[in-house]
């Protein structure tokens, strides 16, 4: 299974997990409210809800022509537990991989005496990198991807959403040999480099 497919499935599982949790806590919730609560498009809520109903995880009962009550079935609760287990497993695996790769990146920074490092891109990966950097004598700054990097010794790409774009932008203000890319982001570098 490709990384993209796994990632897409993980996003769908997370959305369906949150939907099952919302329905379990409030059977009167509307699809519009689910859309707002989950932060996903109304049509996507409808598709996920239909999938949950087709799989027998949710039952819908019409209370008026335009209003439904939704109930999570016993199979739905079993599936919800499986989704939680998978989500936590993926999260822990991501954390372990990210931590190990950040440790390698900071070891390279120390090797080259790069003490002022930009973490380009905010989010979970940047937070993990900050935790790892805390144990080193390296100063890190979390920056948006369109920042001029000339005042830094090196940069580590930590943008999960658009890592390739962030790397490409970073090359405008820093030599690519000083831009560290983590393997888990699958960034295509222009030329081979000793760094990650």
| Residue 46 tokens, joined | 């409808």
Instruction: Assess whether pLDDT exceeds 70 at residue 76.
Output: yes
Residue 109 sits in the same domain as residue 169: yes
Look up the pTM and report it. 0.64
Distance of alpha carbon 88 from alpha carbon 86, whole angstroms: 5
| Residue 189 tokens, joined | 């570098």
Closest CA to 179 of 162, 196, 160, 159: 196
Question: What confidence score (pLDDT) does residue 196 get?
Answer: 44
Residue 102 sits in the same domain as residue 148: yes
Instruction: Assess whether pLDDT exceeds 70 at residue 192.
Output: no
Q: Residue 26: give the domain boundaries.
A: 3-72
CATH number at residue 170: 3.40.50.2300
Tell whether 119 is covered by a domain: yes
Tell whether 196 is covered by a domain: no
Taking the CA atoms of 10, 103, 136 and 169 in sequence, report the sign of the dihedral they define: negative
Question: What confidence score (pLDDT) does residue 1 get?
Answer: 53
* pLDDT mean across residues, the chain: 88
Residue 175 sits in the same domain as residue 142: yes
Residue 99 sits in the same domain as residue 56: no
Tell whether 147 is covered by a domain: yes
Residue 100 sits in the same domain as residue 151: yes
Residue 107 sits in the same domain as residue 179: yes
Decide: 58 and 76 in contact? Cβ < 8 Å: yes
Question: What confidence score (pLDDT) does residue 179 get?
Answer: 96
At residue 163's C-alpha, the angle toward residues 90 and 134, to 5°, is: 70
Question: What confidence score (pLDDT) does residue 2 get?
Answer: 54
Distance of alpha carbon 160 from alpha carbon 128, whole angstroms: 12
Instruction: Assess whether pLDDT exceeds 80 at residue 172.
Output: yes
Query: Number of folded domains in the chain?
Result: 2
Pairing mode of beta strands 179-180, 154-157: parallel
Show the beta-strand stretches assigned E in 18-123: 58-64, 67-72, 116-120
Query: What pLDDT digit, counting tens, does each position of 38-69 carry?
Result: 888 999 999 999 999 999 999 999 888 888 89
Q: What are the beta bridge partners of residue 69?
A: 61
Distance of alpha carbon 120 from alpha carbon 110, whole angstroms: 18
């Amino acid at each position: 299974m490709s990384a993209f497919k796994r990632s897409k499935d993980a996003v769908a599982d997370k959305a369906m997990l949150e939907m099952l949790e919302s329905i379990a806590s409030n059977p009167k919730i509307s699809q519009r409210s689910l859309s707002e609560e989950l932060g996903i498009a109304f049509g996507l809520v409808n598709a996920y809800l239909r999938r949950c109903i087709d799989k027998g995880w949710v039952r819908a009962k019409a209370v008026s022509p335009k209003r439904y009550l939704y109930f999570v079935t016993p199979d739905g609760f079993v599936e919800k537990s499986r989704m939680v287990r998978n989500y936590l497993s993926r999260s822990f695996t991501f954390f372990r991989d990210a931590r190990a790769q950040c440790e390698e990146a900071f070891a390279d920074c120390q090797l080259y005496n790069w003490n002022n490092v930009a973490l380009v891109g905010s989010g979970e990966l940047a937070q993990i990198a900050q935790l790892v950097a805390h144990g080193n004598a390296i100063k890190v700054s979390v920056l948006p991807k369109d920042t001029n990097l000339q005042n830094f010794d090196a940069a580590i790409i930590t943008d999960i959403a658009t890592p390739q774009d962030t790397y490409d932008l970073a090359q405008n203000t820093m030599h690519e040999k000083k831009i560290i890319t983590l393997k888990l982001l699958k960034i295509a570098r222009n030329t081979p480099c000793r760094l990650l």
